[in-house]
Amino acid sequence: GMDLEAITKHSALHAKPNGLILQYGTAGFRTKAVHLDHVMFRMGLLAVLRSKQTQSTIGVMVTASHNPEEDNGVKLVDPLGEMLAPSWEEHATCLANAEEQDVQSVLLDISKKAAVDLQRDAYVVIGRDTRPSSEKLAHSVIDGITVLGGQFHDYGLLTTPQLHYMVYCRNTSGQYGKATIDGYYQKLSAAFAELTKQAPRSGDGFRSLKVDCANGIGALKLGEMERYLSQGLSLQLFNVGTEGRLNHLCGADFVKSYQKPPQGMEMKSNERCCSFDGDADRIVYYYYDADGHFHLIDGDKIAALISSFLKELLLEIGENLNIGVVQTAYANGSSTRFLEEVMKVPVYCTKTGVKHLHHKAQEFDVGVYFEANGHGTVLFSKAAEMKIKQLAKESKDEKRKAAKMLENIIDLFNQAAGDAISDMLVIEAILALKGLTVQQWDALYTDLPNRQLKVKVADRQVISTTDAERQAVTPPGLQEAINNLVKKYKLSRAFVRPSGTEDIVRVYAEADSQESADSLAHEVSLAVF
């Protein structure tokens, strides 16, 4: 049962500010850290209910990813390391917004609706990013867990994907890996070493990569990981959090949004560099060419590199395993064309937000998904994994070699969530094996010039969309107006969608030149008013 008195008492110690209403959005709750104490406590409560209901370990991650340092947030991780199920997002929103005197009744209501057996045990694991506010907020989560009698393990500082990994491991009785930080590094570094064993050595014998850690958790975790990597890869870490502020003028979101290098990183021409975001679930690459031009290699081009490599290996093993690439409306038109027409892999488009892409990618034997902003991974179906493992044991020569590579790739990708560390290692392995420079990778295709704008409107919900956010349904006439504007430009495309994380409408446009993309985006944003 529930100790209602204890709940009331502890809840009062984590009181909700009057009138504050928050939504469990695409990335959980996210706002100024000072407004989040009650949400943390209540998410501790909710995690216990979810754990009882699923009879599994549930994760709670305290982070606000690429947001400014003074923000924070929280999200729950479901049993297979996935994002919280949509019906529970609603419960989360209800509970977070309940007035103090209603917390008990909302808890009971959720338990009833979701058929939670309150007699069951509960186990919750917690991780947090490096924000100054995160430690205290994580303790509020723990307070919520314990007041409902749940057990917990606090992993302390973790990247978001590491917490997803832990949850996945714990609920698959260790089959996916050991649910410890050492287990995570061992699994990844072993797969990386196996995979790159065959790679031709570069001139000086080892490969090096510069990493902008966004002054966040990535610095800490890459630092820990380095000794596991031994000779395979040498990392030079920048923005490690000793001086700069988290995500300030650096990190994957900054580099992608402004299409320029982060501050605090020394770059020479043609050097391969990458940026993590604040919780290390996103990665983008970039370099300066010999003429001093900056080139961004975003999630779309990461997907292109990875799917080309995987397609080749799949052909080699010849088992008719299907591969699909999942993108969002933000994917550059050139990337979609390259994948469909040159690589001949089927491409699918889903709504923005990792959970949508992840879900779609589960339909394939090999499902590659990436958002343009650098969040993504590759999922292998159980059947594909078993087939590959069998071939790696039983087949011969080239086929066996390809199967072994795929086997290691499966281990190297985080199957629970997009993971900057794991994606980085996959990319580095592919580049090494293929002997590709960053410029050669970049040259797979040329991005269409594009522009993103934010538009402030009175009520962003008046805009609704369909066709994976590529078509506006309401307000009436908006889509027609966009169609007419798009017609004026070559190779053009544009869409609008209400943001799921900010009180704004986002506009995206691409066209044959930067001037055209800029002016199309501007015209579309005027049509939104």
Query: Is 499 within any annotated ligand binding site?
Result: yes
Q: Which of 122, 148, 303, 354 binds ligand 16G (CB under 6 A)?
A: 354
Q: Fill in the DSSP letter of residue 159.
A: -
Residues 6+ apart with CB under 8 A from 352: 26, 328, 329, 330, 371, 469, 497, 500
- The answer to whether the beta carbons of residues 165 and 81 sit under 8 Å apart is yes
* Partner from ligand 16G, Zn ion, none binding residue 332, C-beta < 5-8 Å depending on class: none
Euclidean distance between CA atoms 491 and 349, whole angstroms: 19
Query: Is 506 within any annotated ligand binding site?
Result: yes
Euclidean distance between CA atoms 519 and 497, whole angstroms: 18
Instruction: List 130's β-bridge partners, or say none.
Output: none
Annotated active-site residue 65? The verdict is: yes
Euclidean distance between CA atoms 214 and 469, whole angstroms: 30
Tokens matching residue 124:
């919750």
- Minimum distance of Zn ion from residue 137's CB (angstroms): 17
Residue type, 440: Q
Check binding of 277 to Zn ion (CB under 5 A). yes
Check binding of 455 to ligand 16G (CB under 6 A). no
Tokens matching residue 8:
């009331």
- The answer to whether the beta carbons of residues 226 and 235 sit under 8 Å apart is yes
Check binding of 65 to Zn ion (CB under 5 A). yes
Nearer to ligand 16G, 311 or 460 (CB): 460
- Minimum distance of Zn ion from residue 319's CB (angstroms): 35
- Minimum distance of Zn ion from residue 104's CB (angstroms): 34
Check binding of 506 to ligand 16G (CB under 6 A). yes
- Strand 151-157 vs strand 207-212: parallel, antiparallel, or unpaired? unpaired
Determine the size of the site formed for Zn ion (CB under 5 A).
Answer: 4
Q: Taking contact as CB under 6 A, which single stretch among the options 100-108, 126-134, 369-377, 472-480 is the one that binds ligand 16G?
A: 369-377
Nearer to Zn ion, 81 or 150 (CB): 81
Residue 270, Cβ neighbours under 10 Å: how many?
13
Query: Is 476 within any annotated ligand binding site?
Result: no
Task: Give, in degrees to the nearest 5, the angle at Cα 39 between 34 and 42.
Answer: 145
Q: Which of 241, 264, 333, 500 binds ligand 16G (CB under 6 A)?
A: 500
* Partner from ligand 16G, Zn ion, none binding residue 277, C-beta < 5-8 Å depending on class: Zn ion
Check binding of 464 to ligand 16G (CB under 6 A). no
Q: Which of 71, 89, 212, 281 binds Zn ion (CB under 5 A)?
A: 281
Write out the H or E segment, with its range, that includes residue 450: strand 450-455
Residue 134, Cβ neighbours under 10 Å: how many?
24
SS (H, E, C) 89-144: HHHHHHHHHCCHHHHHHHHHHHHHHCCCCCCCCCEEEEEECCCCCHHHHHHHHHHH
Euclidean distance between CA atoms 294 and 119, whole angstroms: 59
Choosing from 51, 65, 335, 492, which is the catalytic residue?
Answer: 65
- The answer to whether the beta carbons of residues 494 and 486 sit under 8 Å apart is yes
- Minimum distance of Zn ion from residue 517's CB (angstroms): 26
Residue list 21-80, contact with ligand 16G (CB under 6 A) = 26-27
Query: Is 497 within any annotated ligand binding site?
Result: yes
Check binding of 371 to Zn ion (CB under 5 A). no
Stretch 314-353: interaction string toward ligand 16G, x if CB under 6 A: --------------------------------------xx
Euclidean distance between CA atoms 139 and 64, whole angstroms: 16
Q: Taking contact as CB under 6 A, which single stretch among the options 221-229, 293-301, 400-408, 498-506 is the one that binds ligand 16G?
A: 498-506
- Minimum distance of ligand 16G from residue 356's CB (angstroms): 8
Euclidean distance between CA atoms 30 and 261, whole angstroms: 26
Count how many residues are written for the chain.
529
- Minimum distance of ligand 16G from residue 485's CB (angstroms): 21
- Minimum distance of Zn ion from residue 281's CB (angstroms): 4
- Minimum distance of ligand 16G from residue 93's CB (angstroms): 16
- The answer to whether the beta carbons of residues 372 and 256 sit under 8 Å apart is yes
Q: Which of 63, 140, 171, 373 binds ligand 16G (CB under 6 A)?
A: 373
Instruction: List 379's β-bridge partners, or say none.
Output: 367
SS (H, E, C) 236-296: EEECCCCCCCCCCCCCHHHHHHHCCCCCCCCCCECCCEEEECCCCCCEEEEEECCCCCEEE
Q: Which of 371, 411, 419, 447 binds ligand 16G (CB under 6 A)?
A: 371
Query: Is 11 within any annotated ligand binding site?
Result: no
Q: Taking contact as CB under 5 A, which single stretch among the options 46-54, 147-155, 209-217, 274-282 is the one that binds Zn ion?
A: 274-282
* Partner from ligand 16G, Zn ion, none binding residue 373, C-beta < 5-8 Å depending on class: ligand 16G
Euclidean distance between CA atoms 460 and 505, whole angstroms: 6
* Partner from ligand 16G, Zn ion, none binding residue 51, C-beta < 5-8 Å depending on class: none
Q: Which of 23, 93, 499, 519 binds ligand 16G (CB under 6 A)?
A: 499
* Partner from ligand 16G, Zn ion, none binding residue 501, C-beta < 5-8 Å depending on class: ligand 16G
Query: Is 373 within any annotated ligand binding site?
Result: yes
Closest CA to 505 of 466, 467, 472: 472
Residues with catalytic roles: 65
Going by the annotation, the residues of the binding site are 65, 277, 279, 281, 371-373, 497-501, 506
**Residues engaged in binding ligand 16G (CB under 6 A):** 26-27, 352-354, 371, 373, 375, 499-502, 506
Going by the annotation, the residues of the binding site for Mg(2+) are 65, 277, 279, 281
**Residues engaged in binding Zn ion (CB under 5 A):** 65, 277, 279, 281
Going by the annotation, the residues of the binding site for substrate are 371-373, 497-501, 506
